[in-house]
């Protein structure tokens, strides 16, 4: 019976596979430091394949380089022996929710999400450290070889020890910041859908380096825009150079090439409209009533008399245009009075329509508004300089997301999660979020620490709880449909002991370790979610726990996976599980009474459920 590998994928092997598909003659073999044969790339041959002339040595070329770039690439590709442990007691509606909060280093989290959410994320928004000299960056020290790193990654780290101050005093300038961002951007790109986009907040300190890094990671032709956000209402009198920095940037890249043919798959014609295929388009506006009062009016379906009211940012069209759309039967009216009317966007008219949006973001939402929102939620200043909800909401609305996953792996106070829940309440959407935040310690002198919050992730989780409760109270008619819950996971060392990963190093006198290769403090639920990660199953799949023949059995998404980690597995139990015809089934490797029972398990499934993939941990 095959064993699950129980660690994130080795991206080096995957990258070599890609090169092999394009240039098979560039793949060769060599021996590693232990004289073991391995497949590798002949880089001299590869350079020649990519050059129109004879290559005989290094050539000058346009590139982004900094001390530590090769280590940053190694950091992105190296596997880790870690897992995500569920924390039901800190979650909200753990059983039903489709939202996720991950506490831990985002580099580890992104690696653990690689198979589960590959090409599944529609939008990423991050607000990383700006490298001002007053903030922190992640200290990613992966300069040792992969084997040494794998061993070290099995050791338990102190909470938050990956954060270091990046100040001029210790000689840390742009290179350390780039080494921190680069691997995370590479891993994030893998998670994006083909039509996915990423938005990154930044200021003048690193905007130029971020553009170059994103050009390299996503492709220069994937650049969409640098949005300008007026973040400060009043001038900063503390400026030392006579210039008040009143704005920040939000850099946007898409995964698809700009100017490529528009995807027609989303355009259908279910009602046989004579104008051809169409897609549902957003009609919510972008301006408050004080800025564009002509866009703020109640929208009424004249055929039914239902009044759908007015969204807080108004409509995208003035009454005259809206009446014309209604007369031409271009409005999609929802059945629910609390739903949001949308518009038919016909494929054959797209060239004549403006489908983009301004590179200048709203000038009515400032950093002070984000701070005021935190103050109103917690009753005190527990977080400095959070982004305002309306800023994130505008990005979400412009992305025209309705049923997609939004990822924020620098979650901070969880403004993104708050904005997702609020927007779902307003337009009936079903957006899901994944938040990731390292448990960065709160200063003991801070209001947050005095209020009982020891780290930033505690603040983020509590904000989602409080914001979700408030949103449901304000939207009682649709409260039952709103998902304001979230499953909490914490990045931790693998559930498996070191012997699981390095069995060849086991000495004769330590053979007893093989009898129990799972750490003693790990629960069946911990093992279950590590299996989720290994098999690439979404972390929000429904789980039902049952007791069969005295054993605890997990049924995941009905029959997507059946797992039992109890010892003493019998053939009678296996036959009962096989009758469910699951796609996958997993047991502990040491759970069988004898080797013959273990062999019989595979035979039973082969007979009763031949489509089931059987594995052990």
Over the chain, what is the mean pLDDT? 84
Q: List pLDDT tens digits, range 465-493.
A: 999 999 999 888 878 889 999 999 999 99
Instruction: For 476-527, give the secondary structure using H, E and C.
Output: CCCHHHCCCCEEEEEEEECCECHHHHCHHHCCHHHHHHHHCCECCCCCHHHH
Tell whether the model's pLDDT for residue 158 goes beyond 50: no
Instruction: Report the interhelical angle of 69-77 vs 11-22 (nearest 10°).
Output: 100
- What integer is the mean pLDDT of 35-39? 71
Tell whether the model's pLDDT for residue 51 goes beyond 50: yes
427 and 486 Cβ atoms separated by less than 8 Å: no
How confident is the model at residue 355, as a pLDDT? 47
Tell whether the model's pLDDT for residue 88 goes beyond 90: yes
The residue among 264 and 437 whose pLDDT is bigger is: 437
How confident is the model at residue 103, as a pLDDT? 97
Q: What percent of the chain stands above pLDDT 70?
A: 84
Please report how many Cα atoms fall inside a 13 Å half-sphere around the Cα of residue 150, on the Cβ side: 19
Taking CA 569 as the corner, what is the angle to CA 566 and CA 571, rounded to the nearest 5 degrees?
Answer: 155
Q: Tokens in use for 468?
A: 């979700």
Band of residue 137 on the pLDDT scale cut at 50, 70, 90: low
Of the candidates 117, 154, 135, 281, the residue with the CA atom closest to the CA atom of residue 201: 135
Residue 288, Cβ neighbours under 10 Å: how many?
17
Band of residue 163 on the pLDDT scale cut at 50, 70, 90: low
Q: Which of 196-210, 277-291, 323-337 has the highest mean pLDDT?
A: 196-210
- What integer is the mean pLDDT of 577-596? 89
Measured CA to CA in angstroms, residue 331 lies from 324, 335, 341 at distances of 10, 13, 7
How confident is the model at residue 47, as a pLDDT? 84
Cα 355–chain centre separation? 26
How confident is the model at residue 365, as a pLDDT? 81
Measured CA to CA in angstroms, residue 461 lies from 131, 436, 611 at distances of 25, 10, 41
Q: What percent of the chain stands above pLDDT 90?
A: 46
- What integer is the mean pLDDT of 103-119? 95
Of the candidates 358, 434, 356, 362, the residue with the CA atom closest to the CA atom of residue 391: 362
- What integer is the mean pLDDT of 45-52? 83
Q: List pLDDT tens digits, range 208-217.
A: 999 999 999 9
Band of residue 260 on the pLDDT scale cut at 50, 70, 90: very low
Residues 6+ apart with CB under 8 A from 381: 371, 374, 375, 447
Band of residue 160 on the pLDDT scale cut at 50, 70, 90: very low
Measured CA to CA in angstroms, residue 528 lies from 130, 489, 525 at distances of 38, 13, 5
Residue 374, Cβ neighbours under 10 Å: how many?
24
- What integer is the mean pLDDT of 168-189? 80
The percent of the chain in helix, strand and coil, each rounded to the nearest 5, is 35, 20, 45
485 and 96 Cβ atoms separated by less than 8 Å: yes
How confident is the model at residue 401, as a pLDDT? 73
Tell whether the model's pLDDT for residue 573 goes beyond 90: yes
How confident is the model at residue 337, as a pLDDT? 73
- What integer is the mean pLDDT of 81-90? 96
Measured between its terminal Cα atoms, the distance across the chain in Å is 10
Q: What are phi and psi of 188, to 5 degrees?
A: -65, -40
Residue 407, Cβ neighbours under 10 Å: how many?
28
Q: Where are the beta strands (DSSP E) in 184-282?
A: 192-202, 223-230, 247-254, 278-281
The 3-state DSSP class for residue 98 equals: coil
Domain range list for the chain: 82-261+366-491, 278-345, 520-616
Please report how many Cα atoms fall inside a 13 Å half-sphere around the Cα of residue 450, on the Cβ side: 9
Tell whether the model's pLDDT for residue 237 goes beyond 80: no
How confident is the model at residue 154, as a pLDDT? 45
- What integer is the mean pLDDT of 209-237? 88
Measured over the CA atoms of residue 14, residue 16, residue 22 and residue 24, the dihedral's sign is: negative
How confident is the model at residue 121, as a pLDDT? 95
Alpha helices in 192-241 (DSSP H): 207-218
- CATH number corresponding to 82-261+366-491: 3.40.50.150
191 and 220 Cβ atoms separated by less than 8 Å: no
Tell whether the model's pLDDT for residue 391 goes beyond 80: yes
515 and 590 Cβ atoms separated by less than 8 Å: yes
Residue 161, Cβ neighbours under 10 Å: how many?
10
The 3-state DSSP class for residue 347 equals: helix
Q: How far apart are CA 428 and CA 431, in angstroms?
A: 9
570 and 593 Cβ atoms separated by less than 8 Å: yes
What pairs with residue 37 in β-bridges?
31
How confident is the model at residue 155, as a pLDDT? 40
The 3-state DSSP class for residue 252 equals: strand
Q: How far apart are CA 207 and CA 240, in angstroms?
A: 20
The residue among 351 and 34 whose pLDDT is bigger is: 34
Of the candidates 144, 209, 210, 26, the residue with the CA atom closest to the CA atom of residue 198: 210
Tell whether the model's pLDDT for residue 552 goes beyond 90: yes
Please tell me the least confidently modeled range out of 118-127, 147-156, 445-454: 147-156
Taking CA 348 as the corner, what is the angle to CA 342 and CA 351, rounded to the nearest 5 degrees?
Answer: 90
How confident is the model at residue 352, as a pLDDT? 44
How confident is the model at residue 259, as a pLDDT? 45
Band of residue 597 on the pLDDT scale cut at 50, 70, 90: confident
């Amino acid at each position: 019976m095959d064993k699950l590998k129980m660690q994130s994928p080795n991206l080096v092997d995957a990258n070599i596979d890609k090169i092999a598909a394009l240039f098979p003659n560039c793949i060769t073999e060599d021996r590693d430091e232990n004289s073991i044969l391995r497949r590798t790339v002949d880089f001299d041959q590869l350079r020649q394949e990519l050059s129109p002339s004879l290559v005989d040595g290094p050539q000058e070329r346009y590139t982004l380089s900094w001390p530590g770039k090769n280590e940053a690439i190694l950091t992105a590709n190296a596997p880790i022996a870690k897992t995500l442990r569920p924390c039901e007691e800190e979650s909200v509606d753990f059983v039903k929710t489709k939202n996720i909060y991950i506490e831990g280093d985002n580099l580890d989290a992104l690696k653990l999400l690689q198979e589960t959410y590959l090409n599944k994320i529609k939008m990423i928004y991050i607000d990383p450290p700006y490298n001002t000299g007053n903030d922190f960056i992640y200290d990613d020290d992966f300069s040792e070889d992969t084997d040494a790193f794998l061993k070290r990654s099995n050791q338990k780290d102190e909470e938050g020890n990956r954060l270091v101050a990046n100040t001029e005093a210790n000689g840390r300038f742009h290179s350390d910041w780039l080494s921190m961002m680069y691997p995370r951007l590479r891993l994030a790109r893998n998670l994006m859908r083909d039509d996915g986009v990423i938005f990154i907040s930044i200021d003048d300190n690193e905007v130029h380096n971020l553009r170059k890094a994103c050009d390299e990671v996503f492709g220069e032709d994937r650049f969409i825009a640098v949005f300008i956000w007026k973040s400060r209402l009043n001038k900063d009198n503390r400026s030392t150079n006579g210039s008040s920095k009143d704005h920040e940037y939000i850099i946007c890249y898409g995964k698809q090439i700009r100017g490529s043919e528009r995807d027609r798959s989303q355009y259908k014609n279910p009602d046989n409209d004579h104008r051809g295929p169409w897609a549902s388009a957003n009609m919510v506006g972008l301006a408050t009533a004080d800025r564009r009062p002509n866009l703020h009016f109640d929208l009424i379906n004249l055929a039914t008399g239902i009044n759908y009211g007015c969204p807080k940012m108004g409509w995208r069209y003035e009454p005259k245009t809206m009446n014309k759309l209604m007369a031409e039967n271009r409005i999609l009216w929802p059945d629910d009075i609390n739903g949001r009317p949308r518009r038919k966007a016909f494929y054959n008219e797209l060239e004549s329509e403006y489908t983009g949006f301004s590179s200048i973001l709203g000038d009515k939402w400032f950093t002070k508004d984000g701070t005021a929102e935190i103050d109103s939620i917690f009753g005190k200043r527990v977080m400095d300089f959070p982004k305002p909800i309306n800023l994130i909401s505008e990005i979400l609305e412009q992305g025209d997301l309705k049923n997609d996953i939004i990822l924020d792996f620098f979650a901070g106070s969880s403004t993104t999660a708050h904005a997702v829940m609020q927007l779902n309440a307003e337009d009936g959407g079903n957006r899901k979020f994944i938040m990731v935040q390292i448990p960065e310690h709160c200063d003991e002198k801070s209001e947050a620490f005095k209020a009982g919050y020891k780290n930033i992730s505690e603040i983020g989780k509590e904000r989602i709880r409080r914001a979700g409760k408030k949103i449901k109270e304000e939207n009682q008619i649709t409260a039952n449909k709103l998902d304001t819950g979230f499953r909490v996971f914490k990045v931790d060392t693998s559930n498996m002991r070191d012997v699981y990963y390095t069995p060849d190093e086991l000495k004769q006198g330590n053979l007893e370790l093989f009898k129990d290769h799972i750490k003693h403090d790990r629960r069946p639920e911990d093992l279950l979610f590590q299996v989720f990660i290994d098999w690439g199953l979404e972390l929000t799949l429904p789980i039902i726990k049952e007791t069969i023949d005295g054993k605890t059995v997990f049924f995941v998404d009905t029959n997507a996976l059946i797992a039992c980690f109890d010892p003493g597995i019998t053939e009678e139990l296996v036959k009962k599980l096989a009758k469910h015809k699951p796609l996958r089934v997993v047991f502990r490797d040491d759970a069988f009474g004898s080797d013959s029972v273990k062999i019989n398990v595979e035979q039973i499934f082969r007979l009763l459920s031949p489509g089931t993939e059987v594995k052990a941990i």
